[in-house]
Each structure stands twice: as structure tokens, then as C-alpha cells.
Structure 1
């Protein structure tokens, strides 16, 4: 990789290398600023002369198929993730490659899961050079810690498809796990012990892979109908005893969240959509299979049913809840790229209005249109969101890979993109000053819904106008909130005050440690920093915005922020020593014996306050 002095700044303000793994890259230029050129990639032309006239392409083993496909060092091997955490094929591909002594392969999955942890061994022994696909769990940590020889590359689902069709990534061997197949290579995911529903993520692999191997554990006589994978593109067919673990591929049922906070988020999301005029006859939407998203879908179902109207179509992963909407007549069509439970698999199998689609249809922006821009409501998750509405969906705040991008980036182009997220996960704040990893620019994220309220992107003046008198708990993003209302004309925002005081605390502790050394009163640095970051968290409840002006809320008139801050901290399991800093940092701590950490924060806080107050 190039020296950091050669890095370039993209349109999002992030510094990136000019090339990755020896390939030049195109930096993000801004929304709608990049226009592709050239022609689509074309795989080699083959002839039926080289294939069995009886149509039987079955070979003895996966290793045999790889050898016949001409596997060699440095090739790109692709797999799909329709078998999710039950996949038993991908690991076997690289086990076979390792036994053959092959080195420096590139693994190009549409996604990876914890079941792919054994891949680490093939990264260590040199069988795999690097991964271009999602990395999470143990695999994500391994890559995040820089242990992979090459640089990991994450792409969205649509970005992966367009990288294949544009020739940015050339697939040498595509391995397609198929729950049902015939000897010619026709295949689908609807039948067999490893049934998973659709196989749309592997469409590009089938169309553009130089060699294509279908691996199945349920071989049927020709023809295998429907033909989600078309045998005319397939080179070899392999039968394994088992390609997947059924209970890890699809669940018997998907579950709605039981968390009161998450249910409140779901309710507020649905209420917002209603108040904004988005829930109407013929509207379209996409929501995922997470507990909060499922709850939002339940609210949509109820609204549509009560009003006697229908959604025209829904896109995305299907569940028993979207199937119920379809069967109950409130949803006309389910356009499905991934099925999440057994009810959805059965629905795709039997209901002509439950259509199997590919990523080309909905997420590929290097084509003649995409379904995403036609959708009225897009419900997405996020690991972090910042005060500029930028979103992160792949890493923890510590930078460790947590998820793949999935279709998340592609979905941002819907007419209204909503992120229903909690304020905290495992004590870690989700709303941040700046996201750790920028996956989606704030211009495309319209609404953030938390258990404490709804923030609308200021760019969406149309939405702000529609819901201004709705009675919804509308909030402004915290960057606009002054850090105190006890002085006039304060322009320093809440976040900057938190930053300043936190750094003052760290500097104070550093000076005491340097000068007094072992004579100093011991200070727990972790408690000090955590207390500095959380001491004023209650102000988010103490303030509200009315007609564009920040005022004290009704809640704040009864409880000042040290009290509400302790309540929030207690709810989320924050240690007592940190709660002590929150409780005693202001006048509420007068007369109380403060801890060393509280003493430092108290004085740092008032340094900033008194200088601003004047």
C-alpha cells in the first residue's frame, strides 16, 4: 500500500490510499458524481463440444472440480451467503485448495459468517492472500488486527455485483452451493434438506465467472425447476453429503423484539411514517429481519389493514411477517432477494406474488435503473450515526469489523431512509460526534429514530414541514444544542464542551502523574474519562427544541441532568464509580465527599463554564 503521504482525501473528507492490493481505486466523488464508462466484462466463450452430450456434468468431488476448473495460485474464488451461518461449502473449498498446495487465493464471498472462522487457518498458511467481502466475528477481528497479508475490501451487495459486471473483480472460479440441482447444473434454493429460498446473490457469479461449480446435497433428475441457476453457465456439479446446517440457514421463526425501548422506537418510526404521509395506498417499503424492523412491519400491517389500503410491493429479506402481509392482502408483491425463515421459503415456493429477485434488480447502480430509488420507505439499522447524519454499519467504535455492508449503502437512495437505533448498545453510545467508519453520507440519511425522539435531517425540509404539528417527539441533533442555558448567547455546542472538559481532565491527571508521581492521590483514569463523557448526558433529556429554540423541557424542570444522567447510567449498567461522577459533578455534589475523579471533573467542568459565562 502507498505511503500515507500519498493518500488522497475523498469527497466525504476521509483520507484513503490511491491503490489497494496493487489496484488503483476510484475515490468517493460525492452523491451522483461518478459516471462509469466502458463495457461490461465478458467471460470466455465456451463450446458445448467440451461438455458431456448427455448433460451429466457431475464429478467425483469438490477437489476434482477445482482441479478440472484449472485452479492455480492467485485466483479469485467466489461463494455466496444464502446458507448464512449454516454454510458447509466455503470452508471445504479452501480445505481442498490447501491440500492441493494452492497459494495466494482471493476469497470473494457475498458475505461471511461466524461459521467461516476456519478460514483463518487458510489465511495463516498462505492459501488465501486476502478477502474481498464481509468479515465479522473471529474472522473480522483477525483482519482488523492487520494479520491478513493483503488488505480486506468490503463491498455492498450492489457494489459487489457491479464490480463483477464491470470487470473490477474477475471471478476465476465461482462455487455455488445449491440446495437442489440436476446433473446439468440447473439449481434452486427452494427444495431439499438445505433449502434457503432464493439464490439471487450468486447470479453475477453464474453469469460472469470463468468457471462455475454447483455443489448440492439434493440431486434431482433433469430438469430442476425452477432454474434459479441456469445449467448452461455451469461447468461442473458436485454432490456432497451435506452443504448446510438447516437450523443455521433459516430459522423456524423470526422474532419481534421484546425490549420496551426497541418497541418504542418501532412505534415512533411507524408514527413518523404515518405523519409524513408515507403510509398510503400503493406505497413501497423495505425492512429487515431484525427485531425492531419486524415490529415496524407489524405497525405497517395494522395501519394498512385498518384503512383498507395496500402496499404495492416490499423488497428485501422476507420473513413470516412479510408473508402474513402478502396473504392478508395488505401487500401485493414481495420482491425477495433473501429468505430468513421457513415460512418465507414455503411462500416463495408456492406464491407467484412472492418473487425471487437478484441484487441486479434492486441494488446495482451500474444499470438502467434500480428498484431502490422507487421505494418510499427504507428501514435500516446502524452500528453508529453521527451528528452529521453519517452512518456506520460495519465496525464497533473500536474499529473492529462487526458486520458486512450488505445492501445498506445501496438502500440509502430510497425516497425516505430511516435509521431506527437505540441511544446505547452494551453501554456504548450509538449517536456520536463522528462515526468510526463512514459507510453512508449524511445527505442520504433522512431520519434517525431513538427511544428518546426523532431527528430529521435539516436537508429534508419537506419532512420537517409535514410533521411539525404532529405531536411526535422531534429532536434536533445534539451538535446544535448549546452546552448550557445558564448564560445568554452561548454558541459553544454541547459536544464541544464534552470534548473540552474530557481533555482538561486527561491533561490534569497527566500533570499530577508527571509532577507528583507516586506521591499523588490515585486516580482511576478509565473512571475519569467515562465520567467526563457521561456527566452531562442527562442534558439530552433536560433540553428540548421548540420553534427552533433550545429551552428547558418539562422533564428538565423536575429533574436536573445529574439526576437524569444517573438514571440513564444505572439503566445501562454503568459502574457506580462513574455514576458518582455524574451525580456529584455540579451543585448537587456540594457538601458531599467527592472521589478524586469527581474532584478533577468538577473543576474542569467549571473552568469551561465560568469562562463561557463571563
Structure 2
């Protein structure tokens, strides 16, 4: 059956209907103005629960049955356990054993450990996934094997979709490393400690039924609580919900690659010469090797200039924690916790503050943190000559990454993408990105090992760097250099079958992802 398509505001063809539901094409940054009211879950009353506060049941299977596990419903999980997650796989093992079919899985993200679920996509236990897919699940989807069109959202877009009623969660399964029988929970203590639980906040608030699972049940009250028991229907204690060494990376390290270190050095020098590193500034950088190197260079410049940052936006890690504890930043506003030092700091430091996609990214809230941040460091798989960027597909067209908070961070005051000019001898600057995830008008600077390109819209930055000794070039010049070294990449072969769509932060459709020809 031919899908009805329409060209959106950035010239991408997108479907008018997704999985039978009417879709709204991207209309431009800040142009879509929703008018409907926010959604909330079914009303519960105290008569539904034991007044002694004990919501504990004997097993996850019992909790799922009590919560109404049945064909065709939507089940959500979160990704704070990353590649050490044991819980999501067990949920669908139970559903399969019970013969339940056509489930929609709504994770905040997936990891390679969830390759286990491919067999359930094949046998019909799971009908489809609405959530960022990494690794094997993304490849499975790119091959056109998923029965339902995947919907990819940013972290903030996921919160927006839940609160707006775009996605109705029937059962949310929330894993926590520490909890009480009432359902208060945190991720700070216990063998499966993951730090922040912010990505599960919307699920707890809006799902019809909420199951809280832990491998560390303690007496009431579990404090501090990141998940409030008042939102929880059932609690379960299990032997193990996560593999500790795979939950957080205790070995997060600065890159040793000379090219990546040079990119990081150029990025820090650019920010310094542009006057962005100054008293009271704020910044966000991820936990990748290049981002960690940039934060380290920031720290050195800040020491030399006696500069102190008001806050750093995390993913927290040992390098950011050291800056906090050395007095170089006043606060860490944590989005997710990437290593054991981050977990410790969140437990011990009052100025290490947990946040959620609501506070940080929700585009349909009354403001959020994203637009307050002075310097935002992000990655990309591709960039085109209009500064548009791709983070979900590789240049071969395969869907192998999630959006995460990337789209939401584009609203920072100065957005910088430090990226290599080519990967595996494939240039990453293209005439047109394979998949459009972020409009170029929101991306300010591209830093590569062979030069720095400033978006022509940022005349202020161009003026400040006019007499700089840094290698300032245009994207066209950088693209020409890459193609001289690597050649012009061949065009990707895809079918006309749309296997996924990319949603913008406001819920509109930014781009379509097509099945890869094999």
C-alpha cells in the first residue's frame, strides 16, 4: 500500500500517517503551536491499595498480570542500566511465555544487550518499538524486518509525547537499585547503582500502571527518592536487575587519538578566543573520549584565567566531578550518570543535582534548561553544507544510534560539533545528510582536525574570530579536502519502504528513514 507523503518545512518527504495515526510534518523551529490539553493517567484511589503502604508482590510475573498484561498494550522501560540491563528482557520473556502478542515496547533507549528481543519481534510477541534503537535492533529495523514503523524521539521529545498523550503507556516497568515496598526509589545505593533515574520520571507520572523492581529492597522510607512511591502500583524484589560492570563505565577515559585530541584542543581554543569561557558561564559535554578531552582543556583554561563556571550540564563523570570538587563549577545538573564517581558524587555532593527530561528538555513545558546553557558540545555521524546534522544513521543508511538528548541540546546558546573530517575513509560532510536529525540553523560551529567552520548565521562569532590564528574555513572547503583524500562516497541504495521516522522536539515529523537495500 502506497503511503501518502508530504514535503515538510526542510524539504524532506514524510508520511501523513504513521502506524494508522495522523502525523504532523515539521513546520520549522518554533512554528508548531499545539493547543490541546496535557494527558494524565487514570484516577486511582486509596481503596485500590493496602493502607499499610506495602505494595510488594512475589514476582515480576505476578506484578505484570495484576497490572493488566494483555495483547496490544504499550510497555515502557528505561535505559539507566545501559548495556547491563536485565529487566527489559525479562519482561518480554514473561509475556512470551504467557502467549501475549502485539506489544509495543517504549524504551527511553535500547542497547546491544536487547538483541535478545529480536526473536520476539520475529514471533509477534513485540509488534514494534517506539524509542531510540542502538546496534542490533537498529540493524534489524533498517533491514525492514519490523512489522511496525519505528518512531524515534529525543529524550525531551519522549517526555513531551507522554505528557501530551501522544503515547499512552499501559504498564511502566521501572528498575531501581534501591527501593522500599511502597515504591519510593533511587539509583544511588545497592549493587545495581546507576545514579540518576530521571528518564523514568515521565513513565512513573503518566503510565496507567507502574511496577517498581529492585534488587535492594530496604525498609520504608527510601530516601532520597527519585521516583515517588505515590506513583507506583506494585513493587517487586528480584535477585538481580542489572550487571554492575555494564551499567556504568568505570573506565570512561579521555581519547588517546592524536586527531581527536587535536580536535578537542581546537574546540577549547575556539571557545576561549570567542570569549565563551568566562566567569559564570555554563557548558555541556558528553562522556565520549573527545568530549572528555574538551572538558579537560576547559578546566586548564579556567585555571589559567581564574574562571569559575556557574554550572555544568551532565552526563556526569569523574572529570566533571573533579571540577565540582575542585571548585571550578558551582553545580552539576545531571542528566544521566556515566561512571561510579558520578554515582558517588550524586550521593555525597549537595551541588550535584539530579534533573530529568522535564526540567532539562521538555519543549512543551514552560521553559527548560537547554536554552540557558552557554556552550554545548555534541557529536554527529554526518553534517551537510547547510549545517544540518545526522546522529541516528551511518553513511551506509543503517539505523544504529539513538537521538538521546541531542536534539534538545541544540537550543543552547552556542552549539559546537567537534567531529573528524572522515571515518573509515568516508567523508562525513555531505551535500545532504542521509537522515536529518537537527536543522542547521541551530548548529553554530563544526570543528574538525583540518579546520573550523562557523555557521554564516553566527556573524558575531565570525567577527570575534576574524583575526584568529585558528584554521577557520568554510564547510565547502572542508568537504573538498575530505573528498580529495577519500574520494566522493557512493550514494546509498534504499527501498521506498519507510522503516522509521524522526520526530522533532515538538512532536512533528522531521525526516523519514528508509529500508536499506541489501
- When normalised by structure 1's length, the TM-score is 0.78
* 1:113-152 map, 5 Å: 113-152=111-150
Could you tell me which residue of structure 2 aligns to residue 3 of structure 1? Answer: 2
The answer on whether the counterparts of 2:71 and 2:100 sit within 8 Å (CA) in structure 1 is yes
Which of 516, 524, 537 matches 2:483?
537
Question: 1:202 and 1:168 mapped to 2: Cα distance?
Answer: 17
Could you tell me which residue of structure 2 aligns to residue 598 of structure 1? Answer: none
Could you tell me which residue of structure 2 aligns to residue 560 of structure 1? Answer: none
The answer on whether the counterparts of 1:363 and 1:372 sit within 8 Å (CA) in structure 2 is yes
Could you tell me which residue of structure 1 aligns to residue 60 of structure 2? Answer: 62
Question: 1:465 and 1:36 mapped to 2: Cα distance?
Answer: 38
Could you tell me which residue of structure 1 aligns to residue 454 of structure 2? Answer: 456
Runs (4+) of structure 1 exceeding 6 A deviation are none
Could you tell me which residue of structure 1 aligns to residue 26 of structure 2? Answer: 28
The answer on whether the counterparts of 1:253 and 1:342 sit within 8 Å (CA) in structure 2 is no
* Deviation by residue 1:362-421 (Cα, 9 ceiling, x = unmatched): 110101111010010000000111111110000011211111000001110111000000
Greater C-alpha radius of gyration: 1
Question: 1:316 and 1:408 mapped to 2: Cα distance?
Answer: 12
Secondary structure in 1 aligned to 2:263? Answer: helix
Question: 2:317 and 2:446 mapped to 1: Cα distance?
Answer: 24
Question: 1:62 and 1:10 mapped to 2: Cα distance?
Answer: 44
Question: 2:302 and 2:156 mapped to 1: Cα distance?
Answer: 30
Question: 2:422 and 2:243 mapped to 1: Cα distance?
Answer: 33
Which of 307, 319, 322 matches 1:321?
319
Evaluate the alpha carbon distance shift between residue 124 and residue 537 of structure 1 in structure 2; reply closer, same or farther with a 3 A threshold: closer
Question: 2:24 and 2:329 mapped to 1: Cα distance?
Answer: 40
Secondary structure in 2 aligned to 1:153? Answer: strand
The answer on whether the counterparts of 1:10 and 1:28 sit within 8 Å (CA) in structure 2 is yes
RMSD: 1.5
Per-residue deviation at 1:3? 2.1
Question: 2:423 and 2:237 mapped to 1: Cα distance?
Answer: 43
Per-residue deviation at 1:65? 0.6
Could you tell me which residue of structure 2 aligns to residue 594 of structure 1? Answer: none
Larger RCO of the pair (alpha carbons < 8 Å, separation 6+): 2
Aligned positions, number? 488
Give ranges in structure 2 of 5+ residues lacking alignment.
490-518
Question: 1:197 and 1:426 mapped to 2: Cα distance?
Answer: 35
Could you tell me which residue of structure 1 aligns to residue 12 of structure 2? Answer: 14
* 1:86-105 map, 5 Å: 86-105=84-103
* Deviation by residue 1:184-222 (Cα, 9 ceiling, x = unmatched): 110000000000001000000000000000011000000
Question: 2:243 and 2:73 mapped to 1: Cα distance?
Answer: 28
Question: 2:122 and 2:314 mapped to 1: Cα distance?
Answer: 36
Secondary structure in 1 aligned to 2:172? Answer: strand
Which of 157, 168, 171 matches 2:169?
171
Per-residue deviation at 1:116? 0.3
Could you tell me which residue of structure 2 aligns to residue 412 of structure 1? Answer: 410
Question: 1:144 and 1:181 mapped to 2: Cα distance?
Answer: 38
The answer on whether the counterparts of 2:277 and 2:307 sit within 8 Å (CA) in structure 1 is no
* Deviation by residue 1:408-445 (Cα, 9 ceiling, x = unmatched): 01110111000000011122211111110000011111
Per-residue deviation at 1:253? 2.8
Give ranges in structure 1 of 5+ residues lacking alignment.
482-493, 496-533, 539-564, 575-614
Per-residue deviation at 1:537? 3.4
Question: 1:18 and 1:270 mapped to 2: Cα distance?
Answer: 43
Could you tell me which residue of structure 2 aligns to residue 579 of structure 1? Answer: none
Per-residue deviation at 1:42? 1.2
Question: 1:414 and 1:337 mapped to 2: Cα distance?
Answer: 15
Question: 1:135 and 1:253 mapped to 2: Cα distance?
Answer: 24
The answer on whether the counterparts of 2:67 and 2:171 sit within 8 Å (CA) in structure 1 is yes
Secondary structure in 2 aligned to 1:65? Answer: helix
Question: 1:342 and 1:230 mapped to 2: Cα distance?
Answer: 24
The answer on whether the counterparts of 2:385 and 2:475 sit within 8 Å (CA) in structure 1 is yes
Question: 2:271 and 2:24 mapped to 1: Cα distance?
Answer: 36
* 1:481-496 map, 5 Å: none
* 1:226-245 map, 5 Å: 226-245=224-243
Secondary structure in 2 aligned to 1:129? Answer: strand
Could you tell me which residue of structure 1 aligns to residue 205 of structure 2? Answer: 207
Between stretches 174-183 and 305-314, larger displacement belongs to 305-314
Could you tell me which residue of structure 2 aligns to residue 489 of structure 1? Answer: none
- When normalised by structure 2's length, the TM-score is 0.92
Could you tell me which residue of structure 2 aligns to residue 257 of structure 1? Answer: 255
Could you tell me which residue of structure 2 aligns to residue 196 of structure 1? Answer: 194
Secondary structure in 2 aligned to 1:448? Answer: strand
Question: 1:220 and 1:352 mapped to 2: Cα distance?
Answer: 23
Could you tell me which residue of structure 2 aligns to residue 543 of structure 1? Answer: none
Secondary structure in 1 aligned to 2:132? Answer: coil
Could you tell me which residue of structure 1 aligns to residue 46 of structure 2? Answer: 48
Question: 2:251 and 2:310 mapped to 1: Cα distance?
Answer: 25
Structure with bigger helix share is 1
Question: 1:251 and 1:169 mapped to 2: Cα distance?
Answer: 31
Could you tell me which residue of structure 1 aligns to residue 357 of structure 2? Answer: 359
